[in-house]
Amino acid sequence: MSGLGKPPSRRGARATRRSNPFITSNQGGALCSGQRNNSPFISSYDAEKKRKHGQQRKEMAKKLLVWGSLALILTVLFRSWSSNSDEPNLLRGGAEIGTKLGSNNDNIIPPNNAPAPAVEPPAPAAVEPPPPPPADEPPPPPADEPPPPPAVGNTSLPDPSVVKGKSLEIEKGVEDSICGSQIPINLADKDKWPTPYTPFIGNGKVPTDSIAKEVVLLQNGSPYGNLGSQLTSFFHAYDFAHESKAPLYITKDSWALETLSKLFFDSDLISPANIPEKFYPYLEKILRVKIVESEEVLKSMEITVPHHPPVQGFFHFSVPGLDLTQIRNHRETILRQLLQYPAPGMCTNLEKRLGAQPTEKYTVISFNFSANIHLPKLDAATKKDHTAAAEMQPDYVVNILGREGMLEQPIFPVFPPGPPNPANVEALMSLIKNPLLHDKIRYDLHARNLEDYVYLALLADVYLGNPVDPLSIWIARIRAALNKKQGTYVLTEKQGDDWVS
C-alpha cells in the first residue's frame, strides 16, 4: 500500500522507462563503462535465431538417423539376396573370363608396353609306361605312322604362301599348263627340259654375305624403257656380275623386283611396298641372288659396291667372249621356274579374251612402229631385210598364217603402251582390208596393251612379233623356254616364196 502513496508522476516515469524498449537506463554509468548494451530488442533477436538453428539441427539429425537406418536395412537385405541367388553365376562368369584370357594370352597388351609375362604350360599328366611284354613274347611292332600328305606341285621349292590375310594366288600342281592352257613341257621336271638346267653362269655360287667382298647391286630407280627393255637390263645384270666376278645383289625396293611382279606372282603383294619378309628367301632361291635392305646394310658389313652401269647401261651391256649357249640355258632355267607362278592379273586378262576354257586356236600379232627406228641397225647386224616383219605387211601375215593353217582362226592385234601410233593403226587397217583376214581380226581398244597381255602372246598357237621390239624378242625367248618355238615368228627371213623363222 505504500507504493500507492507515491506521487503519480514518479510511478508514471518508471513505468514509461520499463515499457519503452528504446529508452535505456543510465544508472551506474552503463553508457560510459564499456559494458555490453543489453537492449531488449537485440537480445530477443539473438535468442530467436539461436532457437531456430537448434531446431533445424535437431530435425536434420532426425532425418539422417532415419535414412541411415533405412540404408543399412536395404544393404543387409541385398547382400543376403545376392549371396543366395547370384553367387554361382558370378563365379561361373569369372571362370569363363579366366579361360579366355588364358587361351589368348599372346594378344594381351601389358601396361606401359612391357613384355607380356611368360605363361608356363601346365605340367603334363604322368603317364604310366605300359607293362613290359613277357620274356617269351616278342615286343609289339611300333604303331604305323600316318603317311605324309601327297606332294602337290613343285616340291623343289618352299611354299611361298604369305601372311597379311591372304596368300599368293599361284598355280600348284599344274606344271604342264599356264593359266589353264596346256604347254608342251613339264616345268617341274628338269630332266626333260629341252635345254639343260643351268642355275648359274660359269662356276657361279649362291651369293652369301660371308663370302662377298664386292657385289653388283640392283637398287631402286626408274626402270629403263618398256617391259621388254627392263627384262633385258635384268638379265644383262647377270652377265655383268659374271664378267665382274662378283655376286648379284638386289635391294628390296629395286626396280628389278617391280619388273618381275608384272609377270609373276601376285603384283599386289610382290610390289616393293607390300612384299612380305617371308617371301625373300623364296625369290633368292629362284633368282640365285641375294636380296638386302639397302646399300647401307652392305657397307655396315664391309661389303663394297664398286661403280657399275646405270639401268640403261645394263641394257646395252654385252661381252663378245661370253658363252651364248650357257647364257640362253641360264635364262630359260630362271624363266621356267618363274613361269610356274604366273601373275593372277595376267591369267584374268587371258580369260577375258579367250573365255574360262579356251579351246580354239588363235594368233597374236604385235605392232610397234616406234621401234622401227632401229631397223637399219638390225638389218646391218644380221645382213637380212626385216622390213616385212617390222611393218606387218599383209602378204607377210597371210603367207605365215596360210602355211600354219591359221587363216580361219581369230587374230588378236596388240600394241605397245601409250597413245595409239598412227603408223600402227594404218598397218592394222591394211590387215583388216585384206579379204583373207578382215573377218578374223578381233580388236578391242581397251585390251590392246601388249604388256597386259603377255601371256596371251606366250600361249598363242602362232605369234608374230616385231624384230626390233625388245618385248617381242622376250616373248619369243619365253616361248622357246616353253618349247613353243613352232609358231613363233620374230626374226624371220624369206626363203623362196615363204617367210620362215
Model confidence pLDDT, tens digit, residues 144-157 = 333 433 333 333 44
| CB of 386 closer than 8 Å to CB of 495 | no
Distances (CA, A) of 493 to 64, 382, 386, 404, 471: 114, 10, 7, 16, 20
> For the segment 53-67, what is each residue's pLDDT rounded down to a tens digit?
677 777 777 777 767
Q: What is the pLDDT at residue 272?
A: 54
Mean pLDDT of 30-59: 55
State the pLDDT confidence band at 46, using cuts at 50, 70 and 90: low
Q: Which residues contact 205 (CB under 8 A, 6 or more apart)?
A: 211, 247
Which residue in 383, 366, 333 sits closest to 488, CA to CA? 366
> For the segment 158-196, what is each residue's pLDDT rounded down to a tens digit?
344 333 333 444 444 367 889 888 899 999 999 999 999
What's the mean pLDDT when you consider all of the chain?
A: 73
Residue indicated by cell numbers 588364358: 102
Q: What is the pLDDT at residue 87?
A: 38
Position with higher pLDDT, 278 vs 78: 278
Q: What is the pLDDT at residue 58?
A: 75
| CB of 392 closer than 8 Å to CB of 365 | yes
Extract long-range pairs of 160-166: CB within 8 Å, 24+ residues apart. Answer: 160/265, 160/279, 160/282, 160/341, 162/269, 162/276, 162/278, 162/279, 163/276, 163/278, 164/269, 164/274, 164/276, 166/269
Q: Is the pLDDT of residue 115 over 60?
A: no
Distance of CA 94 to the CA centre of its chain: 40
For the chain, give the percent of residues with pLDDT over 90. 34
Lowest mean pLDDT of 60-74, 90-104, 245-259, name the range: 90-104
Residue type, position 62, single letter: K
State the pLDDT confidence band at 50, using cuts at 50, 70 and 90: low
Q: Give the single-character DSSP code of 74.
A: H
Cell of 184: 608342251
> For the segment 415-440, what is each residue's pLDDT rounded down to a tens digit?
988 888 899 999 999 999 999 999 99
